[in-house]
Structure 1
Amino acid sequence: MAEDVRAEMVSTVFQVIVAEGDEVKEGDTLVILESMKMEIPVLAEVPGTVTSVGVTVGDVIQQGDLIAVIS
């Protein structure tokens, strides 16, 4: 079963840590977002394989935008 990882707020993608095919554990950092000069890590909520990364560095994302998919 796939788990969508979505943005919780409007922000800019500061760093992408994972790539498609990477194995992650619960709590691993997937990307780091920047909002109001604060860095916000986005963590995996489930273990699995990253099957899709929907953002790149510099993207401005909105609340609810797809960041990655873990299955």
Structure 2
Amino acid sequence: MKEITSSMAGTVLNIMVGGGDEITSGQEVLMIESMKMEIPIESQIEGKVSEVKVNIGDFVNEGDVLLVLE
């Protein structure tokens, strides 16, 4: 099991992937708003999304798990 975590604290604005999606390294998977800036979260790993752990509007902290990959 592989995880994609948040690189900073902020609010989830958009989720670009869902369960079952294949993602590649460097692909934008979420958008987070932090300090009034929109920050894309890119995957550093490849895999198939098995679980999305956040919803749009959720506040996340640095290190929180956003996605779980198979």
Write out the 4+ residue segments of structure 1 that deviate beyond 2 Å after TM superposition.
none
Tell me the TM-score normalized by structure 1: 0.90
Count how many residue pairs are aligned between Structure 1 and Structure 2.
Answer: 70
The two structures, once aligned, show a CA RMSD in angstroms of: 1.0
Q: Which structure 2 segments of 5+ residues have no match?
A: none
Normalised by the length of structure 2, the TM-score is 0.91
SS of the counterpart of 1:45?
coil
- Between the two proteins, what is the percent identity of the paired residues? 36
Distance 2:30 2:8 in 1: 14
Q: Which amino acid aligns with 2:63?
A: G
2:68 is matched by which residue type in structure 1?
V
Aligned to 1:31: 30
Contact kept, 8 Å, 2:23 with 2:48, in 1: the verdict is yes
Matched, 1:9 2:8: yes
**Within 2, Cα distance between the matches of 1:29 and 1:44?**
6
Q: Counterpart amino acid of 1:67?
A: L
Q: 2:49 is matched with which residue? A: 50
- Spell out, residue by residue over 1:24-53, the C-alpha distance to the aligned partner (whole angstroms, 9 max, x if none): 111111100010111111111111101111
Structure 1 segments unaligned to the other structure (5+ residues): none
